[in-house]
Structure 1
Amino acid sequence: MALQNGTADRVTEFIITGLDDIEHPKAVGTVILVVYSLILLGSLTNICFIALDQRLHTPMYFFICTLAAVDILYTSSVSIVLLNILLGEVKRVPYGPCVAQLLVFHLGSTMEPFAIALMAYDRLIAISNPLRYHSILTKTRILVLTIIAWMLGFTCSGLVAGIVNRLPYCHSNTLKYSFCEYAALVRVACVNPDDYFLLASIISSFVLFGNFVLIAFSYLKIILAVLKISSTADRKKMFSTCSSHLIVVACFFIPKFVLIIITRIGLVLTLSSRNGLIIGSTLGPSLVNPFVYCLRTKELRSRLLKIFSKQSVIPSE
């Protein structure tokens, strides 16, 4: 798998044509704009609520903030490009910004499962060792775990971006995908893509399946801990504390596994279908996450209700 740095002399920009067959680009762009705005609104609201309330400065809410920040990073890398194409009708992306967008996108796609796995670990400690919760999840340990997750994310995304940056693009600069991603740039390069897809599969398997195994193991231990509780009411209370996180897990991993299964069984998707699935699996979970935690977490929900109740009060004359 030889790498050559021939990009600087041959390619200065890429032309994205993966969205050309959309019949109503303005309408689709407007929908994406609304979804992206809701993601920013929900994620920033959660971050602000948690940052401004000292009572919420706990490990669980720190991890919620981390997930919200990742959601903003992840969706921004894709949405801005899509909006430029669909609403701004700008299909040309300079080489440098294209690789930078690829780096941020894959950083977000790597950090999302890491953030969800950290939240599963938090729930495991809270249920299996409630009396030692704060002694186990100290500020130092939380910081170390978060730094390690970000370091792994930057390592994986940096490796992917570094490989792409050294590929020779001598035949075409037209990307038949919806934005700059690893598969799009590898397919347009003058190399045999199979070797490079094998490397990407190894990295994605480590990130996706590794974190899923950690999450599954955490919930297995949670179930065993809950089954030891004799009170039915306490059991329901314990499971209810995990319900929000389980929704987040399902929204992220199910679309990813569906794409993998479709690929493994040999079902050939059209580029339009693939682009739609990629965009949906990126924006969908990030849209659900902030509203799940804002509406299903008691403290965040009460803060939101207080704001709306204050706004609804009409001062007497």
Structure 2
Amino acid sequence: MYKNRTTNIPEFILQGFTGIPAEYYGLLGTFFLFIYLMLVSGNIFILVFVTCEKSLQKPTYIIFCNLAISDLGFGTTTLPRIIAKYWMSDIMSFNSCTAQMYLVHYFGTCTSFLMALMALDRFVAICNPLRYPVLIKNSSIAILCSVFWIVPFFILAGTVSFALSVPYCGPNIIRHCYCDYISVISLACADITALRVTTTSVAMAVLWGPLFYIIFSYVAIIISVMKIANKEGRYKTFLTCTPQLLIICLYYLPRSFVYLAFAIGFRFESNLNIALIMMYSLFPAIINPLIYCFRTKEIKDTLMRKFKISLSSAFIPTRLKTTTINPLQNTWQML
């Protein structure tokens, strides 16, 4: 497309949020550090807990673990760079920016596919429970997860190569806290209309393909739930699905809006654009452990059982000690 590509920009400047005085940069960096620690601790807990607890090594929790890895990857790709921008330097080399752009969209694509896989798991479990053990196995889920990690690798390689095929000659100020595709490609000093349409089509296919399946799955789930005669059973099932639907809406709807706005050439106000992207990118990664795991009955029961065991083991030595000492005390009193 652009055979004579010339890039005269050795580095980019991350603009981030505008209008914030420099004396508040340290506080803002600390805030993002807190967000990163929340994201890391919640998702690492899922990985460690499911790995150590054999009773949880089932298809559903394998998907949870893969989603946790994707969320960890996205958070680690973006948040340390955001923290560094406000604590140290807002300059990023061209190659580092390209690598970050690739990883940002790679992990985002993996998350989209994994959420569709989670919808498949819930669809079979609720709509066809008798065939669930036959259709959904650890081996089949592991294979599907592997596919959903490998396919985005090639999709994003092509997308990033499109971004690198255009010339960049200035300006070099990225209107974001990290490098993403829209922010970088907007700086190209060439007509990117064809590139915008092509890459937006790919993004929409990656985004809307899983989304349409998720919508189909949850419509079928809701129809099946409405057929449940027991009112309490319907309530519990809806209570389980509602937080997941909230996360799906938060992940897909704002993202689709931003991509479509980019396709038609509409630009948001800088701070609003950054806040919107940060919301749909980081918020699901932070609360996914709460939604998908800590609200799951099996995990809560396992945690409570381990907590009770730890309490019992803490109090048993004290009781044994009391039982052993009391007879001696009685004998001393008799003497």
Question: TM-score normalized by structure 1?
Answer: 0.89
Residue of structure 1 equivalent to 2:176: 177
Q: How does 1:80-119 map to 2 (within 5 A)?
A: 80-88=80-88, 90-119=89-118
Instruction: Supply the distance in 1 between the matched residues of 2:231 and 2:94 (Cα, whole angstroms).
Output: 59
Deviates more, 1:118-127 or 1:234-243: 234-243
Q: Secondary structure of 2:176's match?
A: coil
Deviates more, 1:168-177 or 1:281-290: 168-177
Residue of structure 1 equivalent to 2:328: none
Q: How does 1:98-247 map to 2 (within 5 A)?
A: 98-247=97-246
Deviates more, 1:305-314 or 1:20-29: 305-314
Residue of structure 2 equivalent to 1:32: 32
2:2 and 2:166 in contact (8 A); partners too: no
Q: By how many angstroms is 1:198 displaced?
A: 1.4
Instruction: Supply the distance in 1 between the matched residues of 2:86 and 2:64 (Cα, whole angstroms).
Output: 32
Instruction: Supply the distance in 2 between the matched residues of 1:158 and 1:265 (Cα, whole angstroms).
Output: 24
Residue of structure 1 equivalent to 2:330: none
Q: By how many angstroms is 1:266 displaced?
A: 8.6
Instruction: Supply the distance in 1 between the matched residues of 2:280 and 2:49 (Cα, whole angstroms).
Output: 27
CA RMSD of the aligned region, Å? 2.6
2:200 and 2:259 in contact (8 A); partners too: no
Query: Runs of 5+ in structure 1 lacking a partner?
Result: none
Instruction: Supply the distance in 1 between the matched residues of 2:227 and 2:220 (Cα, whole angstroms).
Output: 11
Task: Please say if 1:76 is aligned against 2:72.
Answer: no
1:124 and 1:219 in contact (8 A); partners too: yes
Query: Runs of 5+ in structure 2 lacking a partner?
Result: 322-335
Q: How does 1:34-73 map to 2 (within 5 A)?
A: 34-73=34-73
Query: Residues 169-191 of structure 1: CA distance to partner in whole angstroms, max 9, x if unpaired?
Result: 22333323221111222122221
2:176 and 2:183 in contact (8 A); partners too: yes
1:186 and 1:196 in contact (8 A); partners too: no
Q: By how many angstroms is 1:165 displaced?
A: 2.6
Q: By how many angstroms is 1:83 displaced?
A: 0.7
Instruction: Supply the distance in 1 between the matched residues of 2:259 and 2:187 (Cα, whole angstroms).
Output: 22
Q: By how many angstroms is 1:110 displaced?
A: 1.1
Using a 3 Å threshold, how does the CA distance of structure 1 residues 298 and 49 change in structure 2: closer, same or farther? same
1:127 and 1:225 in contact (8 A); partners too: yes
Question: TM-score normalized by structure 2?
Answer: 0.84
Q: By how many angstroms is 1:148 displaced?
A: 2.4
- Which letter does structure 1 place at the counterpart of 2:116? A
Instruction: Supply the distance in 2 between the matched residues of 1:109 and 1:117 (Cα, whole angstroms).
Output: 13
Instruction: Supply the distance in 2 between the matched residues of 1:278 and 1:128 (Cα, whole angstroms).
Output: 34
2:43 and 2:69 in contact (8 A); partners too: yes
Q: Secondary structure of 1:188's match?
A: coil
Task: Please say if 1:256 is aligned against 2:264.
Answer: no
Give identity over the alignment, percent: 28
Q: By how many angstroms is 1:109 displaced?
A: 1.5
Deviates more, 1:138-147 or 1:281-290: 138-147
Q: By how many angstroms is 1:267 displaced?
A: 7.0
Query: Residues 128-148 of structure 1: CA distance to partner in whole angstroms, max 9, x if unpaired?
Result: 111211210123321232122
Instruction: Supply the distance in 1 between the matched residues of 2:257 and 2:160 (Cα, whole angstroms).
Output: 25
Aligned length: 314
Instruction: Supply the distance in 2 between the matched residues of 1:303 and 1:86 (Cα, whole angstroms).
Output: 41
Query: Residues 109-167 of structure 1: CA distance to partner in whole angstroms, max 9, x if unpaired?
Result: 21222111110000001011112112101233212321222233222322222122333
Using a 3 Å threshold, how does the CA distance of structure 1 residues 236 and 80 change in structure 2: closer, same or farther? same
Instruction: Supply the distance in 2 between the matched residues of 1:197 and 1:267 (Cα, whole angstroms).
Output: 12
